[in-house]
Homo-oligomer: A and B are copies of this chain.
Amino acid sequence: MATPFRAIPAIPSGNEYYNAKAKELNERMEAQIPAGLRLSKDILDSLPVNVMQIPETCGLLSENELAITELDATALCAKIAKGELTAVETVTAYGKRAAIAHQLVHCLVDFFLEDGLARAKELDQYFAREGKVVGPLHGLPVSIKEQTPVKGKLGSAGFLSTVEFSAEDSLMVKILRDLVFYVKTNQPQSIMHLESVSFHGRSLNPYNTNLTCGGSSGGEAALLAMKGSPIGVGNDGGGSIRDPCAKCGLWGLRPTSLTMPQGDYYHYEMGNDGIIPSTGPMCRSARDINFFISAVRSTKPHLVEPLLIPLPWSIPDKLERKLRVGIMMNDGEVVPQPPMMRALKLAKSKLEASGEVEVLEYIPYQHKAGYDIIRELYFEDGGATVRRVLEEGGEDILPLTEWVISPPHTRDHTISEAWDLRYRRDKYRQAYSDYWNASDCDVVLCPPFPGTACPHDMARYWGYTAIWNLLDYPGVVFPSGIKLDPRVDVAYESNQPLSEPDKYFRDFYDAEYMVGAPVNLQLVSRRFNDCMLMAAQKIVEKIILS
């Protein structure tokens, strides 16, 4: 493998205005880290590639704080509801750990622990006075992606020209006001990379800082993996929840679109409705997904945001039949790198051995054609808006932005061409639905990406996540139980690339350099089958991790 990307690339540059503004935002962010939470020069000067242990070893967190930050959201809320933990203790522990995490993986864009503590105090007072919690999420700290407006905090649509202090909470944030906000997290330029590098800087993968934490909700994932947050909110139009969760060893669900609030998030292509992204939780356990979505859905957000669909949320205890799991070893376009292939095979053998599920081979239906359609849909204007918004901020275009808006996938359309494109989308959806029905699978287990986290700026294939966005099939990612191990994840089975992108992934694969990257899997089901999917995920996870 060539070495150029081994050095972590500098943060994006631009003209004088841009450079000054980006510097100011970075300095503001760094100044928000309290002096007492700064990592020592000794630690920072000799960072290992894997920084996961530093919060425990740096000496800045008490044993109690470390114990609190080990808990998932469900456990935290249970303890708070029983009075075993206060909201102030909880947010203090997470706030401190988030500050440490940021110094290691550059995951934050705004830090406001004081606000969080003030809110936590109110909640503790309520609990002391009333003897009960305000709601199921009482006192839980939650991290929020920059794209999601939190009143008075930094928000943007992924370009410097769009950054502002938000005038209002988004509906999602209003719903979550029982929780405690304390950070906003980083996302990439354009919010359209499986990587997270922006005018705020570059977020890193804590398991191996040579690697990306994924994107676009990558700041979230890096923070969650460092246990600087128990739960976060991401938004996924091509993989933006699932990709970073997968690359950082987390759990994340992209629900069927328009079932969770997101109408007032930052966007630069307002009104582009060819592909609708979807908001969902990024978590440290599968049960936290249910915990979070149940709480949000119970507020009936569709009564406030009229584009939302009032689909009930209730995960069944028992499935209607023995679960039928299709396994897709590759998408016909890019063969997964060795650690992903190992995880798939291990999962397959465990599922087969369990006797608890039916295992089928799932052959993908024309995924390349679908991927071509969604890439064309993202920027029906040929990327003109992206270039304009960059220009307005004096911001240089990043390589992954250039890639994602480049021909042949991206081109300007007339109305008639745009209608034709959307018609092709709908015909593909219909053909896929027919195919899926004929396959008789309940869920499909597949890679979320053609490998683990890759080195920075290399994530030039979205097919494993974006295809399900095109279909609007819900997808959940979760750890496979293994990490990239250079001793075993040595080589591809065959030397025959399926395509140019496949060759590209083979060429940069380097087990030594990518050591320790978590390997996650993805489970998908048909549209609106979110609850069945989560029931199936529980079964599959239990078997795979057993």
Interface residues of chain A, those whose CB is within 8 Å of chain B, are 263, 269-273, 302-307, 309-311, 380-382, 384-385, 412-416, 418-426, 429-430, 432-433, 437, 471-472, 526-528
Do residues A422 and B273 form an inter-chain contact, with CB atoms below 8 A?
yes
CB distance A433 to B306 under 8 Å?
A: yes
How far is A380 from B425 in the complex, measured between Cα atoms in Å? 19
Contact A420 B271 (CB under 8 A): yes
Residues of chain B within 8 A (CB-CB) of A425 are 271
Chain B residues with Cβ below 8 Å from A269 are 419
Look across to chain B and name the residue whose beta carbon is closest to the beta carbon of A267.
B423
Say yes or no: A426-B528 contact (C-beta < 8 A), given A412-B415, A418-B415. Answer: no
Q: Which chain B positions have C-beta within 8 A of A416?
A: 381, 384-385
Per the bound structure, the CA–CA distance linking A432 and B307 in Å amounts to: 12
Closest to A385 in B: B416
Q: Are B271 and A306 in contact (CB under 8 A)?
A: no
B residues within 8 A CB of A527? 302, 306
Q: Which 5 A-B pairs have the closest CB atoms?
A: A271-B423, A271-B419, A306-B433, A271-B422, A381-B415
Q: How far is the CB of A543 from chain B (nearest CB, A)?
A: 27
- A422 nearest in chain B by CB position: B271
Q: State the Cβ distance, A438 to closest chain B Cβ, in Å.
A: 12
- Measured in the bound complex, the distance between the Cα atoms of B429 and A416 in whole Å is 25
Report the separation of the CA atoms of residues A84 and B128 in the bound assembly, to the nearest whole angstrom.
Answer: 71
Instruction: Report A267 CB to chain B, min CB distance, Å.
Output: 9
> In angstroms, how far is the closest chain B Cβ from the Cβ of A228?
34
Q: Which residues of B contact A311 (CB under 8 A)?
A: 309-310
Are B422 and A528 interface neighbours, CB within 8 A?
no
A268 vs chain B, min Cβ distance (A): 10
Contact A418 B271 (CB under 8 A): yes
Residues on B with C-beta less than 8 A from A382 are 415
Q: How far is the CB of A485 from chain B (nearest CB, A)?
A: 40
Of A306, A307, A422, chain B has the most CB atoms within 10 Å of the CB of A306
Among the listed B385, B421, B430, which residue makes an inter-chain contact with A263, where contact means beta carbons less than 8 Å apart? B430
12 extra A-B contacts, CB within 8 A, seeds A304-B433, A310-B311, A381-B414? A271-B418, A271-B419, A271-B420, A271-B423, A272-B419, A305-B433, A306-B430, A306-B526, A306-B527, A309-B311, A380-B415, A381-B416
How many angstroms from the CA of A423 to the CA of B420 in the assembled complex? 20
Q: Is the CB of A381 within 8 A of B433?
A: no
Chain B positions within 8 Å of A412 at CB level? 415
Chain B hits for A305, CB < 8 A: 430, 433
A174 CB to nearest B CB, Å: 13
Residues of B with C-beta under 8 A to A385: 416
**Minimum CB–CB distance for A81 against chain B, Å:** 29
**CB-CB nearest in chain B for A381:** B415
In the assembled complex, the Cα of A263 lies from the Cα of B412 at a distance in Å of 27
Give bound CA distance, A311 to B309, whole Å.
9
21 contacts between A and B (CB under 8 A): A263-B430, A269-B419, A270-B419, A270-B420, A271-B422, A271-B423, A302-B527, A305-B430, A306-B430, A306-B433, A306-B471, A306-B526, A307-B429, A310-B311, A381-B414, A381-B415, A381-B416, A381-B419, A384-B416, A415-B415, A418-B418
Across the interface, A432 reaches (CB within 8 A) one of B306, B413, B526, namely B306
Contacts of A310 in B (CB 8 A): 311, 528
Q: Which of B273, B423, B429 has a CB less than 8 Å from the CB of A270?
A: B423
Contact A421 B271, beta carbon cutoff 8 Å: yes
Task: Tell me the minimal C-beta distance from A473 to chain B in angstroms.
Answer: 9
Could you tell me the distance in whole angstroms from the C-beta of A222 to the nearest C-beta in chain B?
A: 32
The residue in chain B whose Cβ has the minimal distance to the Cβ of A273 is B422
* Contacts A271-B418, A419-B270; A263 near B528 (Cβ below 8 A): no
CB-based nearest B residue for A429: B306
A418 contacts across to B, CB distance below 8 A = 271, 415, 418
In the complex, A472→B472 CA distance in Å?
21
Contacts of A471 in B (CB 8 A): 306
Residues of B within 8 A of A526 (CB): 306
In chain B, what residue has the closest Cβ to A431?
A: B306
Min C-beta distance of A207 to chain B, whole Å: 37
CA distance A307 to B528 in the complex (A): 10
| CB–CB A426/B307 < 8 A | yes
Partner of A528, one of B272, B273, B309, B472: B309
Contact B381 A426 (CB under 8 A): no
**How far, in angstroms, from A303 to B311 measured CA to CA in the complex?**
15
* Chain B hits for A433, CB < 8 A: 304-306
In the complex, which of the residues A271, A381, A422, A433 has the most CB atoms of chain B within 10 Å of its own CB atom?
A: A271
CB distance from A440 to the nearest CB of B (A): 12
A304: chain B residues at CB < 8 Å are: 433, 437
Least Cβ distance of A434 to chain B in Å? 8
Closest to A432 in B: B306
Instruction: Give the docked Cα–Cα distance between A523 and B475 (Å).
Output: 39
Given A307-B429, A381-B415, A415-B418, answer yes or no on A528-B302 (Cβ-Cβ < 8 Å). Answer: yes
Q: Whole-angstrom distance from the CB of A192 to the nearest CB of chain B?
A: 16
What's the Cα separation between A412 and B272 when bound, in Å?
17
**A306 CB contacts on chain B under 8 angstroms:** 429-430, 432-433, 471-472, 526-527
